[in-house]
Copies of this chain bind each other. A is one copy, B any other.
Amino acid sequence: MLKKLTGLLKKNNSKTVRLKKAIGSVLGFDPNSIDVYVLALRHTSSAKVQDTTGFREHNERLEFLGDSVLGVIVAEYLFKKFPFKDEGFLTEIRSRIVNGDSLSNIAIKMGLDDLVSFEGSKNNAKSIYGDALEALIAAIYLDTDFKTCKKFVTKKILEQHIDLDEIIENNKNYKSKLIEWAHKEEKILKFHILNETVNGAKRQFEACVIVNEEIVATGFGLSKKKAEQDAAMKSCTILKIDP
């Protein structure tokens, strides 16, 4: 019995050591406390499986915190990088950097897909990795401090995986791309503002893209232009028009 227990402890211990090593290699430094990172890498689906201790926590609370930590670090990065650009540009570029798809791709490149624990099929699981990356950022912030976390995000995410020129250039012209496509394919293309919602001083618009009298996609934004861009971007995906 004692032998079995010692074996189990050894096994768990070596698993923790391996995980600590793997996380350390993603972070570029040794974590202080491993627990918060383990939690960051535990998807809801995995927490549904109860272990002997009963209910298990998952990474969604950390994802909430990490999303804001990432947001402020990217905000400051862009604020300083583009001293002459207005807040509309900064907001737009930040949202392109921190969108789920972009984060999931970065998470996979970092090797997080091997570390995330979840139950179920790996198909359609891509967003899990982006969410885990956000949770990991919160874990770093809680385990170390804001400065260390900022360094990690700047060096390991922004400088290593984000090509700002490409982001600014590539995504800018969804609307023009769509217009070009409609011209070439001889389709009738319309942009239409569906809704305007006033919430205090802020306005939100909803726009839609109509091709040959059929709505392809709707989009939202704080200006008509942005709502149209959002709708155009979604339409390009749906219509499989290369950006």
Which A residues lie at the B interface, using CB under 8 A? 60-61, 63-65, 67-69, 71-72, 75-76, 79, 86-87, 90-91, 99-101, 126-127, 130-131, 141, 146-147, 195, 197, 199-202, 204, 206, 218-220, 234
Asked if B195 contacts A218 (CB within 8 A), the reply is: yes
Instruction: Select which of B60, B63, B141, B201 is within 8 A of A127 by beta carbon.
Output: B201
Number of copies: 2
Instruction: Select which of B67, B69, B100, B195 is within 8 A of A200 by beta carbon.
Output: B100
Task: State the CA gap A87–B75 with chains docked (Å).
Answer: 22
Task: Give me 5 other A-B pairs in contact (C-beta within 8 A), A69-B72, A195-B206 excluded.
Answer: A60-B86, A64-B87, A64-B91, A127-B200, A146-B146
A sample of 17 inter-chain contacts (CB < 8 A) reads A61-B87, A61-B90, A64-B75, A64-B87, A64-B90, A65-B76, A67-B75, A68-B71, A69-B75, A71-B71, A72-B72, A99-B200, A100-B202, A126-B201, A199-B234, A206-B206, A220-B220
Nearest B residue to A234 by beta-carbon distance? B199
